[in-house]
A = this chain, B = another copy of it.
Amino acid sequence: MNPDITRERQNASFDVEKLTYILDGGPEKTKRRRQIEALVFSDPDFHEDDPNFLSRSERYDQAVRKSAQMVLKLREYGIADPEEIYYYKSCVHPGRPSPLDLHLAMFLPTLLNQASPAQMDRFFMPAWNLEIIGTYAQTEIGHGTHLRGLETTATYDPATQEFVLNSPTVSSIKWWPGGLGKTSNHAIVLAQLYSLGNCHGLHAFIVPIRDMKTHEPLPGIVVGDIGPKFGFNEVDNGFLKLENVRIPRENMMMKYSKVEPDGTYVKPPSSKLTYGTMVFVRSMIVGESARTLSKSCTIAIRYSAVRHQSEIRPGEPEPQILDYQTQQYKLFPLLSMAYAFTFVGQYMTEIYHRISEDISQGDFNQLPELHALSAGLKAFTTWETNSAIEVCRMSCGGHGYSRSSALPDIYVEFTPTCTYEGENTVMMLQTARYLVKSYRQAEKGQQLSGIVSYLNESQNRRVQPQAVASRRPLVDINDLSSLVQVYQQRAATLVEMAAKSIQQELQRRKSQEDAWNNSAIDLVRASDAHCHYVVVKVFNDKLKGVGDTAIHSVLSTLALLYAMHGITKNSGDFLQTGLVSVPQVLQISVRIKELLSQLRPNVVALVDAFDIHDKKLNSVLGRYDGNVYENMFEWARRSPLNAAEVHESFQKYLKPLRSKL
């Protein structure tokens, strides 16, 4: 054990294990998590070669091998709880998506949700037993978020009772679905349904794409891998071009909408039914942000405790880089953010489960709020985490660039969350739509409830940003609840400003749609402020439930740092709206420095509390024992370029060159 890191641990003021329980949601959960980790990490069948040293084809091969093993093991151990399966998988493929992800997370659930009983009989067990391996083919090379724009067609032929599927243009080729390129033999294809000359919009069809025995592509199917990406090396994201591919009528997903044998189209009873999955996935991404940020902070903070560099006082030994104020200012606010997002993740899970029960009882009332919240928080947490990973990486100096640090991979595997499952700007605008709608309801005197209820008050206050700047702010900057209020009022003001911008555009005779587009900057800003408020509020609420004094104290410091740092970073908003005064902004800067010093002795313990197994972290810089350099040297020696002392290029190019010059 590295002596620096040992000393750090001795200095902690709280019980790390107890904090881990809070983060996991109770000691039982911690215990079970560790059991699953032990199952995977001690299992020789999951031994893997370091993917950094493999070609893409070898990485894919290894991932398929481990996925196949995983399916066997899950049955062997009888692990069936979705949350436990999810965690088991995250240990088998630590930090890396896998070729079977879409089969497990999209193909099977879509069957469960949208297949008719007859279809369940035909498809579910074969898919469960991996005879059918499926993916979910929605996006096209020319079309993403906007479902109405998708071009793939499924035309019903009553003569043969078949659908004929086509990719009519280059831009309609299905593009991006994970596992489509090489792994899957079936795809759920989203296509515009045509029957009896009418288009009935987007529907889902089960399309066999590869021969069940030979795995060769079927006639009319052009399928393959879309090539290397930023990360996702293990996944065969694929393309699919359909050329008059015929499938039986019974392969349209028929639980809700139907096409009768004669071609008559039957509408689905409600459009809200598929809403829930989307909300669920986005909530999960919020949790993923928290976990990814926790990982990155663990690596950067442990390494900063071990690394010595330069000098603060001349003549003295090189200090730990954790002692530099600039390093603290880079990392500690991110650590506070990791805690904040963890609690927001817990909050989203709770709220999702609560509202799911309402929905199952036919009560859709709270769904719009949850939908807006999950969209905005997905965008807010992924954007913040995305930047934060890179700050962590760069805070590790040169070694942050080495793949042995794990930080480059953490970044490339995480950054797609900003785009998939709803592009972030689009997500922010969805949330804004809900906020503006709520604001208008309040304006009309309707009493709002739930998380947007603060918009009621803004109607009473009638904030005028220009006039308000001279108002005397009443905030107590050292009181977290008071800061929550300030964040709330900032959100209220920015929602109001966005709504007024739309109003002004309309007064200039712009159409509703142009007014919206011309206010989009303000709308995104308002959503961002709303989400920021929710995060600060949730953190504050969480503190109320923490009984352990030592833990309460350190979490309070983190929460205060999170809130104050946000004010500094967005001080223009707070000053502009008159919520905080200039002297207060200056006081906050001073307070932040004090909070950094206050946290300094606890930061290693605070990342230890995330309790991320070395095998999950997979980072030489972030090792629990802090023995960085010797292990980095050992890792480097295994680099494939070191297999031969003399690389063949010497004989081929460099040696012959001498005689030519």
Contacts and interface: CB of A to CB of B under 8 A. Distances in A.
Interface of A: 52-53, 55-57, 60-61, 64-65, 67-68, 71-72, 75, 129-131, 133, 139, 141-146, 148-149, 170-171, 173, 175-176, 181-183, 214-217, 224-232, 236, 239, 307-314, 318, 323-326, 329-330, 386-387, 390, 393-394, 397-398, 400-404, 407-408, 411-412, 415-416, 418-420, 423-426, 429, 465-466, 469, 511, 513-514, 517-522, 524, 568, 570-576, 578, 582-583, 585-586, 589, 592-593, 629-630, 632-633, 635-642, 645-650, 652-655, 657-658, 660-661
A456 to B, nearest CB: 25
Contacts of A652: 61, 64-65
A637 B214 CA distance: 21
A636 to B, nearest CB: 5
Nearest to A470: B470
Given A60-B649, A225-B636, A225-B639, 12 more contacts: A130-B657, A144-B398, A149-B318, A170-B630, A224-B642, A227-B639, A313-B511, A325-B521, A398-B420, A518-B593, A575-B582, A576-B582
A325 B142 contact: no
Given A53-B228, A226-B636, A312 B514 contact: yes
A130 B658 contact: yes
Contacts of A228: 52-53, 402-403, 639
A464 to B, nearest CB: 10
Contact of A398 (B176, B318, B511, B661): B176
Contacts of A426: 310
Tell me the number of copies of this protein.
2
A135 B148 CA distance: 57
A641 B53 contact: no
A466 B65 contact: no
Nearest to A69: B653
Contact of A142 (B224, B571, B629): B629
Given A60-B647, A518-B325, A646-B214, A657 B182 contact: no
Residue among A524, A639, A655 with max Cβ neighbours from chain B (10 Å): A639
A410 to B, nearest CB: 11
A330 B317 CA distance: 45
A511 B419 CA distance: 49
A614 B170 CA distance: 22
Contact of A145 (B229, B310, B326, B466): B310
Nearest to A429: B326
Contacts of A429: 326
21 contacts: A61-B649, A64-B654, A65-B649, A68-B654, A75-B661, A129-B658, A130-B657, A170-B633, A182-B647, A214-B646, A216-B645, A227-B638, A229-B408, A230-B408, A236-B641, A326-B425, A326-B520, A329-B521, A387-B387, A572-B573, A572-B585
Nearest to A52: B228
A578 B225 CA distance: 57
Nearest to A418: B394
Which 10 A-B residue pairs are closest in the complex by CB-CB distance? A571-B572, A230-B408, A227-B639, A225-B641, A146-B310, A64-B649, A572-B572, A68-B653, A325-B520, A469-B582
A53 B586 CA distance: 53
A129 B227 contact: no
A650 B214 CA distance: 9
A646 B215 contact: yes
A402 B229 contact: yes
A421 to B, nearest CB: 11
Contacts of A56: 640-641
A585 B645 CA distance: 62
A514 to B, nearest CB: 7
B170 A520 contact: no
Contacts of A214: 646
A179 B593 CA distance: 42
Contacts of A397: 144-145, 419, 423
Nearest to A511: B313
Given A173-B633, A216-B646, A466 B576 contact: no
A231 B401 CA distance: 8
A348 to B, nearest CB: 23
Contacts of A173: 629, 633
Contacts of A307: 142
Nearest to A658: B131
Contacts of A415: 390, 394, 401
